[in-house]
Amino acid sequence: MRMEILIPRTHSEIEAAVARLSAAGSLGCDTETSGLSSRTGKLFSIQFSDGEISVLVPLSEGVELGPFATLLADPQITKIFHNAKFDLDFLNAVGVATANIFDTMIAEKVLTRGAHQSASLADTLYRYFAVDLDKSQRKKFNSRWDGVWTRELVDYALSDVLHLPRLMQEQTAWLERLGLRSEYDAAIEKLHAS
């Protein structure tokens, strides 16, 4: 699957990226961080994808979230995360509110309850689309990382968001088909309450 990739660093690049993303009804979203705790870890980037264009905001290089925070707060755009609690903890820690969230991990847990299947993103994408995610680059994101985005790191970071819009569509259809939408909605409410 070919995608257009933007890594906005200048004011005009940021404006152009936000304008493109603002036109989407839903956006895959993910973060890269230095660790698992938002209290001790650093937020290195946030990634967005509508399935055709993917944007990596390199916070590690000093790029500000700025108008991307407005995108996250926009209730008209569905933000699709896999394990939203993790990403939202980091975003909340830097003062960014996120509205209208769909969590593909929660959806997968509702859909596969009792099946004893992994709800990891790699396993979920493989089940739905036969996509094989390479997670080997993840270990480079730690407190000693130099903050420089190589092609391999960009590809890794964006691979997590590229398929999220299509995954949400598939999961939503299955939730409706199986009569599980209200169970999913109740689970997502718990996420907002925490």
pLDDT for 1 beyond 60: no
Side-chain-facing half-sphere of 99: CA atoms under 13 Å: 10
Q: How many whole angstroms separate alpha carbon 21 and alpha carbon 52?
A: 10
Is the confidence at residue 2, as pLDDT, over 70? no
Q: Where are the beta strands (DSSP E) in the chain?
A: 4-6, 26-33, 43-49, 53-57, 78-81, 101-103
Asked whether the predicted pLDDT for residue 27 surpasses 80, the reply is yes
The stretch 92-102 carries a mean pLDDT of 95
Which range marks the domain in which residue 147 is found?
Answer: 4-193
| Domain at 18, CATH number | 3.30.420.10
**DSSP 3-state helix, strand, coil percentages of the chain (rounded to 5)?**
50, 15, 35
Q: How many domains does the chain have?
A: 1
- Decide if pLDDT at 141 tops 60: yes
Which residues pair with residue 81 across a beta bridge? Answer: 103
Q: Say how many CA atoms lie within 13 Å of 180 toward its Cβ.
A: 18
pTM: 0.95
What is the tens place of the pLDDT at every residue in 33-72?
998 899 988 999 999 999 999 999 999 999 999 999 999 9
Span 138-167, average pLDDT: 91
Is 6 in a helix, a strand, or coil?
A: strand
Q: Are 72 and 21 in contact (CB under 8 A)?
A: no
Of 4, 6, 151, which Cα lies nearest the Cα of 68?
Answer: 6
Cβ atoms 175, 169 nearer than 8 A: no
Structure confidence by residue, pLDDT tens digits, 105-122: 999 999 998 788 899 999
DSSP 62: T
Tell me how many helices (H) and strands (E) the chain has. 8, 6
